[in-house]
Amino acid sequence: MLLSTDDELRDQLLAGGILPPQQIMAYMAEAQECDTGLESVLRKHRVLTETNLHALRAMRAAAIYCNLSDFIPRLQNSDIVDEELARRHVMFPLFVLDGVITMIMEDTNDLAAIDQVRRMTRQEVEVCAGSRSEVLGLIERAYGASQYLEEASVMDSLLEVNEDSNDGEARPVIRLVDDLVNEAVRQNASDIHIEPGEKELRIRIRVDGVLREVAAPPLGLHRPVVSRIKVLSRLDISNTRTPQDGAYQYRNGDHEVMIRISVLPSVYGEAVVMRLLRNASDAISMNELGLERRMHEAFSGLVASAHGMILVSGPTGSGKSTTLYSVLRSITSPQKNIVTIEDPVEYRTSRVRQVQVNPDADLTFAAGLRSILRQDPDVIMVGEIRDRETAQIAVQAALTGHLLLSTVHTNDAIGAVARLRDLGVPEYLISSSLLGVLAQRLCRRNCPECVAPDDPPEFLLRAVGLADQAPDFQPMRGRGCRRCIGTGYVGRCGIYELFQVTEEFSAMIVRLESAEAIRAAAREKGMKFLLHDGLEKVRHGITSIEEVARVAGRC
């Protein structure tokens, strides 16, 4: 007796332990009751992603599943197969090697389509399975670019990239931009880089803090793509000689992100960086930050203070804003008036009053903070303390009954004291107002699918202070697989150090003792530094020595 597709999928889920048996049976019953397929029910409840479902389908068909994030397809391969055929059968030629065309297809059992390609090209055809949405996106980028270049000149195209074109007949350049953003959202990227070169256009997205190149349209589409982005963010299309900044809201199904745009003139044309800013609902809680238990308890104690200043330090892109929003999320209540001033507002929430810095309107951090103090706040968050006036007002706010949260750019937690000194804040005010400083970095997490014992080279051991002694634990590292796109890492975790300003440290600050002296005293008191916290996460297999050395080592 032949099994139905639903029965085969059920058996796969049970054999792989992907879902609990009771849950699978409940979904099977719902599928029968609603007279629909098990896949449709799984999509409805969002228990498996589209990629997961297509990978399972490929396994049932004994086909190879291809994740398009594994490599950069050549859009020029669109010349091999007719557009109508590619769209009708949802397929695209990935590459040609030794006279064999490798096609990615939604349905690898579509023998008629495979034979048609074989007859048209007079070459052998091998197939691999792919997600329908990914293949259609690739088709759109490849054939849409060709169609666009054939239909209109670059100057004509500028008239076509209007903001109201959202229907299915929209010009290809509009669909190209939307597909690029969709791809970035799907891979949970933080930035999109569009960089024109002398002979080609390069597009990269930043995932887990590392830039990754993706398939780019021809160089001839650079100006139309930039023009479309400028129209969406209400920038001046005719101005190509000066930098411009803007933003627009992007919605697609369940996804809603604010995209901040930076346009910078370069030698070969305008370079664009698009920063994807999530909503406050995407912000994590303090329990999810990954703080070690004692550090979490100490930091929670600081956050519960009625007044004083708490700083988060680290370089750009180290997750400082995420940490501050996790703090706000933990203390938000109807009894507290919380106001923030930021540049930009990275997480939007209706539960907190948020102010966007606007230098053109003389709304700077200092001016905004001065006005916020007249709004009867209980908690104030300042995006960054970067100048003397902001630092002095922030300290005064912390001393007058407000809990003030902010960030500074320093290499470690204790370095924030020297930074405040450099900004002209007197030592006695620093010691009176500063409750503590949390320094942090972001390390990539080992991929759970391919993690394996690691034997790091000597220079990495030396970078994390283990040159003179072998580690008393087994380091782990991802070897690279399809899930992690060959990188060995999926997602990120934080490593931290917390400097609490006790009475002893307050006295050292007032006595103008150096950062080295304060650091030595903190070490004697048992303070855990960034490197120590990173090695603890290596010990537990969360990240690798290579990652800790990269972000906090002494290379």
What pLDDT digit, counting tens, does each position of 278-298 carry?
A: 765 556 778 888 898 999 999
What pLDDT digit, counting tens, does each position of 176-226 carry?
A: 888 888 878 877 788 999 999 998 899 999 888 888 887 778 888 899 899
- Crossing angle of the two packed helices 293-303 and 320-331, in degrees rounded to 10: 60
Give counts: helices (H), strands (E), the chain.
21, 18
Q: Check: CB of residue 342 under 8 Å from CB of residue 354.
A: yes
Q: What is the pLDDT of residue 36?
A: 81
Q: Check: CB of residue 345 under 8 Å from CB of residue 431.
A: no
pLDDT band per the 50, 70, 90 thresholds, residue 3: low
Question: What does the pLDDT average to over 537-548?
Answer: 91
Higher-confidence residue of 135 and 497: namely 497
In a 10 Å sphere around its CB, with 0-12 CB exposed, 13-18 middle and 19+ buried, how is residue 292 labelled? Answer: middle
The H or E element that residue 276 is part of is: strand 269-277
What pLDDT digit, counting tens, does each position of 468-494 carry?
A: 666 778 888 988 776 676 678 888 899
pLDDT band per the 50, 70, 90 thresholds, residue 129: confident
Whole-angstrom distance, CA of residue 420 vs CA of residue 512? 12
Longest dimension (CA), the chain: 86
pLDDT band per the 50, 70, 90 thresholds, residue 163: very low
Whole-angstrom distance, CA of residue 60 vs CA of residue 14? 14
What pLDDT digit, counting tens, does each position of 506-530 carry?
A: 999 999 999 899 999 999 998 999 9
For strands 308-313 and 434-446, give the pairing.
Answer: parallel
Percent of the chain, pLDDT > 90? 34
DSSP 219: G
pLDDT reading at 167 higher than 80: no
* Lowest pLDDT segment from 23-32, 33-42, 279-288: 279-288
Residues forming beta bridges with residue 489, ordered by sequence position: 446
Sign for the CA dihedral angle at 112, 117, 122, 127 comes to negative
